[in-house]
Amino acid sequence: MVAVCWFLVDVKTANNNRQPNNKSTNLKSTKIMFSTLISLDKELLIFLNNCNSAFFDDFFYIFTGKIVWLLTAAAIIYVILKTQKSDWWVILVGLVLLILLSDQISSTLIKPLVERLRPTREPTLDGLVHLVHNYRGGGFSFISSHAANGFAFAVCTSLLFKNRLYSTIIFLWAILTAYSRIYLGLHYPLDVFCGSILGISIGFAVFYLVRWYRPICCKRKISRRNSLIIATVFFVTIAIISIWHNKLLFLK
**What does the chain come to in residues?**
252
Identify the pLDDT of residue 210.
Answer: 95
Report d(CA 48, CA 35) in Å as an integer. 20
- Per-residue pLDDT at 112 exceeds 80: yes
Output phi, psi for 143, to 5 deg: -105, 175
Give residue 13's pLDDT band: very low, low, confident or very high (50, 70, 90).
low
Residue 50 belongs to some domain of the structure: no
Look at residue 231 and tell me if it is in a domain: yes
Mean local confidence (pLDDT), 148-169: 96
The pLDDT of residue 36 is above 80: yes
DSSP 128: T
Q: What is the pLDDT of residue 203?
A: 97
Exposed, middle or buried, 215 (CB in 10 Å: 0-12/13-18/19+)? exposed
174 vs 18, residue with greater confidence: 174
Within a domain: 145: yes
| Residue 17's pLDDT band (cuts 50, 70, 90) | low
**Who's near 141: CB < 8 A, 6+ residues apart?**
111, 116, 117, 118, 119, 186, 187, 188, 191
The percent of residues in the chain predicted with pLDDT above 70, rounded, is 88
Domain for residue 45, yes or no? no
Q: CB of 140 within 8 A of CB of 195?
A: no
Vertex 222, ends 218 and 227: CA angle to 5°? 140
Q: Is 29 a residue whose pLDDT tops 70?
A: no
Of 103 and 18, more confident: 103
pLDDT at 7 over 60: no
Query: Is the model more confident about 27 or about 135?
Result: 135
pLDDT tops 70 at residue 151 = yes
φ/ψ of 65, rounded to 5, equals -80, 180
Domain that holds residue 186: 57-251
Q: Is residue 205 part of a domain?
A: yes
Mean pLDDT of the chain: 88
pLDDT band of residue 59 (cuts 50, 70, 90) is very high
Q: In the predicted model, what is the mean pLDDT of residues 141-162?
A: 95
Q: In which band, very low, low, confident or very high, does the pLDDT at 212 lie, cut at 50, 70 and 90? A: very high
The pLDDT of 166-180, averaged and rounded, is 96
Label residue 250 by pLDDT band (50, 70, 90). Answer: confident
Identify whether 153 is part of a domain.
Answer: yes
> Is residue 15 predicted with pLDDT exceeding 60?
no
Q: What pLDDT, on the 0 to 100 scale, is given for residue 2?
A: 58
pLDDT at residue 246 above 60?
yes
Q: Using alpha carbons, list the distances in angstroms from residue 118 to 186, 195, 233.
A: 6, 14, 33
65 belongs to a structural domain: yes
pTM confidence score: 0.88
Is 25 or 87 the better-scoring residue by pLDDT? Answer: 87
- 98 belongs to a structural domain: yes
Of the two residues 217 and 144, the one the predictor is more confident about is: 144
Beta strands in the chain (DSSP E): none
Could you give the number of structural domains in the chain? 1
Pick from 102, 157, 146: nearest CA to 252: 146
DSSP 223: P
